């Protein structure tokens, strides 16, 4: 590794270690308790261990393998993504199968769901415990975090040495937006994003949640743009924008399933009331295309920056 790659690698590792300290520590604690006693007391279980213990541990291991995996150059990003997602699946499966020591003998996944979203009636409880689509939201966020972080780290050595201003610009956007997404994931949990099955969010939580939806989509769009930026304008701009809208919409769908068929409202005015025949408000419907438009503008700006650099 040259000096710039080593410096970037060191900064990212430090950043990840700071953010991963709590979830990995709690994950190790669960592993020790399960190994010693065969189950976990309710008061010993920490919120948000699922999915963040598996996410953080898989990312740290994958990034630690950078000196080895980066040697396969252009195939390093897909290889790192496969390693990261595989590790996540294994660790998450192990954590979810652990048992909370209660009369119902909940698994850790069932325990976290019922205590972070809440139960309103027996049927609601049944769906939360046995409907696998309830995990859609946390799996989507987990996959995004793994793809974005591993992609950013492994692409640095592939992109920065190139004399391609447009690709460098998109990569810098990817690094910035990935860092923002990590911060907002933490902020969403701090503001109790899943704290209740229905109702309106506080103003600060509304802003955080709205930006979270936008960032989820925009990050995926920019992730695609890194690979498509040198294609024709239609492909390089339209496909990332479409990917952004899709992921933002799926994020809403994940929230809809996690909240048993409702969405959080951001306020009480007409902008935040449900539209006919849907559970989405006008604000929700604006957020989806707005995220796609933002991605299109960012990619277009990167392309224009690259063109200007060629003429200078």
pLDDT tens for each residue of 216-267: 999 999 999 999 998 888 899 999 999 999 999 888 777 766 655 555 555 5
Residues 194, 142 within the same domain: no
> Residues 1, 95: one domain?
yes
Residues 174 and 245 in one domain: yes
**Distance between CA 22 and CA 301 in Å, rounded?**
38
Tokens of 192: 């109790």
Q: What is the pLDDT of residue 60?
A: 93
Q: Closest Cα to residue 249, out of 224, 285, 283, 300? A: 285
Domain boundary among 99, 133, 161: 161
| Segments of the chain with pLDDT less than 70 | 1, 37-48, 98-134, 189-206, 256-281, 309-312
Residue 198 has a pLDDT of 46
Say what the pLDDT of residue 297 is: 95
Residues 204 and 253 in one domain: yes
Quote the crossing angle between the two packed helices 49-64 and 108-116, to the nearest 10°: 120
Residue 193 confidence (pLDDT): 45
Distance CA 179, CA 184 (A): 9
**Residue 105 shares a structural domain with residue 17:** yes
**Contact 214/180 with Cβ under 8 angstroms?**
no
One domain for residues 63 and 106: yes
Q: Residue 209's Cα: distance from chain center in Å?
A: 13
The answer to whether the pTM exceeds 0.95 is no
Give residue 44's pLDDT. Answer: 64
Q: Tell me, what's the pLDDT at 157?
A: 85
Domain boundaries, position 227? 164-312
| pLDDT, position 41 | 64
Q: Specify the number of domains making up the chain.
A: 2
């Amino acid at each position: 590794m040259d000096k710039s790659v080593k410096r970037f690698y060191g900064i990212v590792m430090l950043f990840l270690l700071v953010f991963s300290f709590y979830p990995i520590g709690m994950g190790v604690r669960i592993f020790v308790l399960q190994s010693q006693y065969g189950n976990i007391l309710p008061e010993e279980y920490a919120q948000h261990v699922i999915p963040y213990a598996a996410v953080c541990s898989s990312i740290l291991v994958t990034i630690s393998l950078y000196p080895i995996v980066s040697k396969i150059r252009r195939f390093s990003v897909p290889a790192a993504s496969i390693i990261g997602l595989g590790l996540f699946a294994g660790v998450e499966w192990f954590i979810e199968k652990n048992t909370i020591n209660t009369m119902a003998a909940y698994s850790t996944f069932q325990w976290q769901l019922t205590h972070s979203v809440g139960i309103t009636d027996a049927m609601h409880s049944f769906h939360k415990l046995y409907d696998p689509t309830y995990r859609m939201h946390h799996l989507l966020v987990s996959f995004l975090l793994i793809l974005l972080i591993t992609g950013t780290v492994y692409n640095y050595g592939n992109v920065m040495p190139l004399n391609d201003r447009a690709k460098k610009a998109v990569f810098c956007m990817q690094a910035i937006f990935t860092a923002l997404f990590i911060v907002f994931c933490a902020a969403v949990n701090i503001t109790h994003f899943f704290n209740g099955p229905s109702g309106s969010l506080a103003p600060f939580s509304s802003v955080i949640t709205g930006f979270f939806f936008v960032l989820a989509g925009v990050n995926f769009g920019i992730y695609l743009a890194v690979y498509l930026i040198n294609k024709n304008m239609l492909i390089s701009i339209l496909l990332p924008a479409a990917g952004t809208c899709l992921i933002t919409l799926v994020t809403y769908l994940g929230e809809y399933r996690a909240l048993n068929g409702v969405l959080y409202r951001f306020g009480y005015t007409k902008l935040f009331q449900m539209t006919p025949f849907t559970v989405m408000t006008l604000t929700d419907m604006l957020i989806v295309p707005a995220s796609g438009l933002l991605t299109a503008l960012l990619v277009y700006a990167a392309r224009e920056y690259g063109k200007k650099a060629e003429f200078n």
